[in-house]
């Protein structure tokens, strides 16, 4: 009788440990997604980039890379599930061979340039989901060997107003190419978007393709030309974080990015 009781106790203990281990592993997989955001910008309504993602996954966590050194930013990136390159000031024009046009650019932030270029290359190497917004699109293009127009009104004219003379945002139409991932996820071929920039893509970076343009032919969305062997990458010149909650050219990007981060998390767990 004692032997039966002892074996039963051992069985229950082993079973408990087994289920406990499964529970811990499950919790680890279900931990909140963690996004590396290159630089946060808040206003009286909150942090637009963070809040944009949290509309569709309230548990998303984030870490800002800008206050860190390049080495520290690279280390932190490896603990994340995705990289979001945000809007902001002009890149240093010497990075894309147009230092002679520096007078058309705003004051550079060399620290930010260095961090963003480094983490973009690392995210591509890790096949980590990567999304860029406004300046984010520009720095991704430069990281891939592309160049920028240093001032759109001067370089291509004012057929489309991308930013008002007062420096305030503008609204304009963007036209989506049907043979693109942007179209596949948004299911729209055009839309009104919130825009606030005076620079844009001139020469397209290596390995990229244009997936959306404005009426003046300026690239407004880019992605990989060939996705084989690569992680998710998508960038837009406009600001989807300011779009209405169910707007196709706002919601679709956030939902897709979140889904890609979840898939990346699962792949990393499987590798380990």
Cα–Cα distance, 243 to 254 (Å, whole number): 11
Q: Per the structure block, which two tokens stand in for 2?
A: 């004692």
Question: Residue 100 has what pLDDT?
Answer: 98
Q: Kindly indicate the confidence band of residue 271, based on its pLDDT and cuts at 50, 70 and 90.
A: low
Q: Between 6 and 230, where is the model more confident?
A: 230
* Burial bucket for residue 82 (CB in 10 Å: 0-12, 13-18, 19+): buried
Nearest CA among 195, 198, 260 for reference residue 234: 260
Neighbours of 69 (CB within 10 A): 12
Cα–Cα distance, 66 to 45 (Å, whole number): 21
Is residue 186 within 8 A of residue 243, CB to CB? The reply is no
Look up the pTM and report it. 0.87
Q: Between 94 and 243, where is the model more confident?
A: 94
Cα–Cα distance, 182 to 131 (Å, whole number): 12
The whole-number average pLDDT for the span 195-218 is: 97
Q: Kindly indicate the confidence band of residue 245, based on its pLDDT and cuts at 50, 70 and 90.
A: confident
Instruction: Please state, for a pLDDT cut of 90, what percent of the chain lies above it.
Output: 77
Question: Residue 46 has what pLDDT?
Answer: 53
Residue with tokens 């004051």: 107
Cα–Cα distance, 261 to 48 (Å, whole number): 19
Question: Residue 240 has what pLDDT?
Answer: 94
Render pLDDT for 27-80 as a digit per residue (tens, 0 to 9). 445 799 999 999 997 665 456 899 999 999 999 999 999 999 999 999 999 999
Average pLDDT along the chain: 89
Residues with catalytic roles: 134, 239, 241
Q: Kindly indicate the confidence band of residue 156, based on its pLDDT and cuts at 50, 70 and 90.
A: very high
Contacts of 64 (CB under 8 A, 6+ apart): 37, 38, 39, 40
Question: Residue 1 has what pLDDT?
Answer: 47
Q: Kindly indicate the confidence band of residue 224, based on its pLDDT and cuts at 50, 70 and 90.
A: very high
Question: Residue 10 has what pLDDT?
Answer: 43
What CATH class has 32-271? alpha beta
Question: Residue 11 has what pLDDT?
Answer: 46
- For every residue of the chain, which 3-state class applies, written as one string? CHHHHHHHHHHHHHHHHHHHHHHHHHHHHCCCCEEEECCCCEECCEEHHHHHHHCCCCCCEEEECCCCCHHHHHHHHCCCCEEEECCCCCCCHHHHCCHHHHHHCCCCCHHHHHHHHHHHHHHHHHCCCEEEECHHHHHHHHHCCCCEECCHHHHCCCCCCCECCCCCEEEEEEEECCCCHHHHHHCCCEEEEEECCCCEECCCCCCEEEEEECCCCCEEEEEECCCCCCCCEEEECCCHHHCCCCCHHHHHHHHHHHHHHHHHHHHHHHHC
The whole-number average pLDDT for the span 169-178 is: 94
Question: Residue 29 has what pLDDT?
Answer: 52
Structural domain boundaries in the chain = 32-271
Q: Between 80 and 167, where is the model more confident?
A: 80
Render pLDDT for 86-127 as a digit per residue (tens, 0 to 9). 999 999 999 999 999 999 999 999 999 999 999 999 999 999
């Amino acid at each position: 009788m004692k032997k039966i009781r002892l074996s039963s106790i051992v069985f229950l203990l082993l079973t408990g440990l087994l289920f406990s281990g499964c529970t811990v592993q499950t919790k680890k997989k279900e931990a909140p997604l963690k996004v590396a955001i290159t630089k946060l910008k808040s206003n009286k309504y909150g942090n637009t980039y963070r809040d944009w993602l949290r509309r569709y996954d309230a548990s998303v966590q984030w870490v800002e890379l800008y206050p860190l050194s390049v080495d520290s930013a690279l280390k932190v990136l490896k603990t994340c599930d995705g990289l979001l390159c945000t809007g902001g000031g002009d890149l240093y024009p010497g990075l894309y061979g147009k230092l002679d046009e520096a007078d058309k650019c705003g004051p550079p932030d060399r620290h930010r340039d260095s961090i963003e270029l480094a983490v973009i290359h690392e995210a591509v190497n890790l096949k980590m989901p990567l999304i860029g917004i406004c300046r984010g699109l520009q720095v991704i293009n430069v990281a891939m060997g592309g160049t920028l127009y240093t001032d759109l009104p001067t370089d291509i004219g004012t057929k489309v107003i991308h930013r008002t003379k007062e420096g305030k945002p503008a609204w304009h139409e963007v036209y989506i190419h049907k043979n693109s991932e942007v179209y596949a996820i948004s299911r729209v071929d055009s839309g009104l978007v919130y825009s606030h920039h005076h620079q844009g893509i001139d020469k397209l970076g290596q390995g990229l393709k244009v997936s959306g343009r404005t009426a003046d032919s300026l690239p407004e969305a880019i992605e990989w030309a060939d996705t084989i062997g690569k992680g998710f990458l998508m960038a837009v010149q406009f600001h989807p974080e300011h779009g209405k909650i169910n707007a196709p050219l706002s919601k679709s990007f956030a939902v897709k990015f979140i889904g890609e981060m979840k898939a990346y998390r699962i792949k990393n767990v499987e590798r380990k």
